[in-house]
Structure 1
Amino acid sequence: MASPASTDPFYLVKDDIQASLDKAQTQHGRWQSMGSTNPDKKRLGADIEDECKSIAWQVDEMEKAVDVAEKNMSRFGLSQAEISKRRKWVMQTRTKCEGVMSSLEGSHKVSFSVTDNGSVTGRLGSAAAQDNDRYIGAESDRQQLLIRQQDEELDQLGEHVERLGGLGKEIHGELESQSRMLDDLDEEVEGTHHRLAAAQKKMNNVLKKMGLRGQLCLIAFLIAILVLLIVLTIS
């Protein structure tokens, strides 16, 4: 069975970033061992700088992800200890990356040249422009991804609303049907009540007209019929 760390997106991205940082530190060691006149030193320094800036941007995104996870720890199944562990890794990785960048920038400062009109030129100006372009492109991609995710969530929400609307209509129709059935039942009960009342009234009138003697005769007659039915049933 795969461990949680092997399936957690944080650790998958973390491993990629760590691999990039290890590569940048290894290249930085080579860069430091090169002489200042080595023509490959500038090229290698530029590659390391690009790698570090990419790592720094990814670390910033990981920090944002940790912020979101900390606000919804129960949803993501994380503990405060795990959140602290992730923040510690973010800080350590950022510190290592900044250390490499500081070393490169310290070397770049001595390579600046001043033009005739007093403007300062050098690799940092070009690197800053490239960094800005990369940042703008990455931010644009991130915004487009967020927009696509929001569109998908809105589509899903619309489907849920439609299903709820259909369910509401079915419930409304069922309630109307039950209401009509109850109304019919009330009418039948009321009609039966009226018929029983009328029958009772007629029976009372008949008994009054018969008098006491007639009532006794009727009772005797009914008893005789009952006895006859019992005898027929037994035989």
Structure 2
Amino acid sequence: MELDKRRRWTSGARTQVGKVKKVVVAGQESNGLSVMEMRRELMALPNSHQTDKWERSTNPNSDDFVSAESDKQLLLIKQQDDELDELSASVKRIGGVGLTIHDELLSQEKLIDELGVELDSTSTRLDFVQVRLKDAMYELLVHWSTKIELEATWKSYAAFQEAFLDFELEDKLVVNGGSDDTSLFSYSSRYYLLALPN
């Protein structure tokens, strides 16, 4: 089987060499064959309408061919220019959006920084208030039983505790004409908040 394949290949090669030899000898004897006819003979191309058309279109003297190719090239260049213009416009739009996003991010970053500073300041103030609350001063509005009702006075809670050792600060309910407490005075508490630092 392998031997048959090799014999067929050898036979085909001999046939092709014979054809080439005939064409070369014929070309030397008669220069009447054109280059295309020799090429067709060597390549075993059929003489068809397509090969004639190709031969006409590849003829360098064909003005129509040159004009058509020039028009094709101009059309391709115009299409590429249009595509590049569209691409350029898209890049500009994307660039504009990118710049807008960049500006927004910068403004957001600035706002966040300002908020952080305000939070730090507020936290510091809150810490200050908490410290002051621990050390807050309490005062009592004392209505002395020996004075008229409108002559109540504010007294320091600490001073009151020193003067009246059994005194405890608690809510008192004052009722018309009397009280539910047997102490010598009516009271309410007042709480001072100190001004916060700026």
Higher relative contact order (Cα pairs below 8 Å, separated by 6+ residues): 2
Q: TM-score range by the shorter chain?
A: 0.3 to 0.5
**Structure with max Cα Rg:** 2
- Larger helix share, 1 or 2: 1
TM-score, normalising length: structure 2? 0.43
- Larger strand share, 1 or 2: 2
